[in-house]
Structure 1
Amino acid sequence: MSMVDLRSRLPALAPSILDADFACLADAVRLLEAHGADFIHLDVMDGRFVPNISFGLPVVSAVRRLTRLPLDVHLMIVEPERYVEAFIEAGATIVTVHAEVSPHLHRTVQLIHEHGARAGVALNPATPLALIEEILPFVDVVLVMTVNPGFGGQTLIPSVLQKVRRLRARIDEQRLPAVIEIDGGIKPSNVGAGIAAGADVLVTGSAVFHADDPAAVLHALRTEAQRAWLAHRSGSSDGD
């Protein structure tokens, strides 16, 4: 598997299929492909690390067969190191594990890279940035949860954006390659705030799949993300 250049796609939309109709999964993937998704986000939940169970390897493998888009696999599971290789074999392009359940995080990140995927580390809303200080130079993605993980359809926690700002400053100061992904409660009305805080990749789920016109929401997300990205990069505060 060749490494995907994450920065070539920024700002990026990574719609989550968690809220899609799984009876029509192929239609959901085609919708995302046709209307501007850069990645497809897959939330794998085990009912232990988070209070819900979603799906596993067969769904990742099925989505891989349906699309050429990069698959952004978010492992909300305990002992993720046991399953990293299998998820990459199933088609994951990016594998993200939670710092809260990965005591040997450097080893896990190495394992992901050794098997040809991009490595991400995720933080829950109340988890401090200090937990990933030592691993930050080695990861490709930092996923900051903007809701407490486990369920779709939640409201973004605004205070978490301050953590995103601090993370952005740290990455820029150290000139690190990691991109920042935010996940939870993202919709057209707050995309600008997320980008202004320093996010590069935006995960959205229920805002798209619960909408009457998902294509229109995807278009609005893309428009707002690009507007805020250009404003942020030019030093404007329009996206705040």
Structure 2
Amino acid sequence: MVTNPLDYVDQLGKAGASGFTFHVEVSKDNWQELVNRIKSKGMKPGVALKPGTPVEEVYPLLEGENPVEMVLVMTVEPGFGGQKFMPDMMDKVRTLREKYPTLDIEVDGGLGPSTIDIAAAAGANCIVAGSSVFGAPEPAQVISLLRTSVNKACRA
């Protein structure tokens, strides 16, 4: 999370990033300019939502003239890895999935073998997993399990 994401768009675009996700909490005054700049650099714009922020905060970014293409629901407070998954954040995921059936919905924080089914069933189709993968004796097995769970839920 950065306080002025507009300062990073050009650099990440030049570096070859395919997407750029910014926090709604720091972009209320310039989100449309930010989305336009992200798209002009060939990247897919996404917006992140901290646990304490109501899901309705992202609606204008999804329904505007030039909408974001992904919402990241933080399932922990941003800042450091290894935090415990907040299952109550799945209400936000379910709300977004019902309102925007084709939207990419990403979840980040505390995702692993014991929480992936909850997130996938709620409607998350993109997963960020750090500690559960990099701390595993067999990271490839964890990745496979996460992928299988999300794919299974998406087909249901």
Which residue number corresponds to residue 36 of structure 2? Answer: 110
Q: 2:124–2:150: 8 Å Cα contact kept in structure 1?
A: no
Please state whether the residue corresponding to 1:133 is helix, strand or coil.
helix
Report the equivalent of 1:223. Answer: 148
Shift in Å, 1:170: 1.3
Q: Secondary structure at the match of 1:151?
A: coil
Task: Flag structure 1 segments of 5+ consecutive residues without an equivalent.
Answer: 1-75, 234-240
- Match for residue 147 of structure 1 among 59, 64, 76: 76
Query: 1:188·1:224 contact (CA, 8 Å) conserved in 2?
Result: no
Matched residue pairs, number?
Answer: 152
- Gaps spanning 5+ residues in structure 2: where? none
Q: Does 1:120 align with 2:35?
A: no
* CA–CA separation in structure 2 for the residues paired with 1:152 and 1:113: 29
Equivalent residues in 2 for 1:1-240, closer than 5 Å? 76-102=1-27, 103-137=29-63, 138-172=67-101, 177-230=102-155, 233=156
Cα deviation code 1:25-63 (max 9, x no counterpart)? xxxxxxxxxxxxxxxxxxxxxxxxxxxxxxxxxxxxxxx
Deviation at 1:165, TM superposition (A): 0.6
Deviation of residue 189 (structure 1)? 1.9
Deviations 1:152-211 (A, max 9, x none): 111110100011111111113xxxx53111101000222111111111101101001011
Task: Give SS of 1:120's match.
Answer: strand
1:81-112, CA deviations, whole angstroms, 9 ceiling, x for partnerless residues? Answer: 11111111112101000010012111101110
Moved over 6 A (4+): none
Instruction: Read off the aligned partner of 2:88 and give its amino acid letter.
Output: S
Counterpart of 1:216 in 2: which secondary structure? helix
Residue identity opposite 2:123 in structure 1: G
Task: Report how far residue 134 of structure 1 moved.
Answer: 1.1
Q: Give the Cα separation in 2 of the matches to 1:156 and 1:98.
A: 19
**How much identity, in percent, do the aligned residues show?**
43
The one-letter code sitting in structure 2 at the alignment partner of 1:155 is K
Tell me the SS of whatever aligns to 2:149.
helix
TM-score by length of 1: 0.61
Kindly indicate whether structure 1 or structure 2 has the higher relative contact order, using CA contacts under 8 Å at least 6 residues apart: 1
Bigger CA radius of gyration: 1
Q: Is the contact between residue 136 and residue 178 of structure 1 (CA under 8 Å) also seen in structure 2? A: no
Confirm or deny: 8 A CA contact 1:182 1:202 kept in the other structure. yes
